[in-house]
Amino acid sequence: MYPPGHLAINGLFVAAYNALPNVRSIPLWPAVVAAILPDITDKVATDFLHWMPYGRNYLHNLTAAVAGGIILALLLRSRGAGISWCIGLIGHLVGDFVFVPLFWPWVGYEWPDEYRNIAAGVVQTVTDVAGGHPLSELAASVWHFRRIGVECIMLGGMFHALQPWVMKHRIPFWTRVTAMLFALAAWGYIVVEWEYPAFLNYVQFYTIK
Ligand SMILES: [Zn+2]
């Protein structure tokens, strides 16, 4: 998933947590970091440093969710920040469900083949755009524009729906509900359009015994 989709899911998860009865509300920013950071660290480790065979590794697993949450909570003396990181990282794994090494490093994985060099493609995109050239093949291989568009709709809907965080009564309830349904529909479309085989695998795994 691209950053807009990750941000939308993490925003939703933190809002859902904060809506629980009898919990102290948690800050959003650690979950926002957890939406973006794993794709930077893990892609750099894979594509530039060649430490790992596939670009979801060090921060794409449950250990990183729990350990990161504990470290952040201790460093900042804020339980809420730790919980937000943990929820955000789990949200990131949900967004990337097609393949995530959930129990790495405790369990070995067969890593998928990746034909793109994503980190190099991103850098090439910046170079191409800054130089005013059309995107080269390396740069273009990284961006799936229709999917990014749908993820932006997802993020926009989620942002609109979750406005009560920011301003309490300005936006009518029904428009927020509509926006949320829109965002969830966009997410559903993403899964059906681009992640259906992986989705079916999960359904089979949990239903057919
Ligand atoms: Zn990721």
Each domain of the chain, given as residue ranges in start order, spans 3-112+144-207
Output the CA 150–ligand 1 centroid distance in Å.
17
Output the CA 146–ligand 1 centroid distance in Å.
18
pLDDT at 209: 60
CB 106 within 8 A of CB 206: no
Output the CA 52–ligand 1 centroid distance in Å.
14
Output the CA 160–ligand 1 centroid distance in Å.
24
pLDDT: which is higher, 13 or 172:
13
| Mean pLDDT within 100-127 | 88
CB 119 within 8 A of CB 141: no
Output the CA 204–ligand 1 centroid distance in Å.
24
- Per residue in 80-89, pLDDT tens? 999 999 999 9
- Per residue in 29-65, pLDDT tens? 999 999 999 999 999 998 888 898 888 999 999 999 9
Output the CA 174–ligand 1 centroid distance in Å.
32
Output the CA 182–ligand 1 centroid distance in Å.
23
Question: Which pTM does this prediction carry?
Answer: 0.90
CB 2 within 8 A of CB 54: no
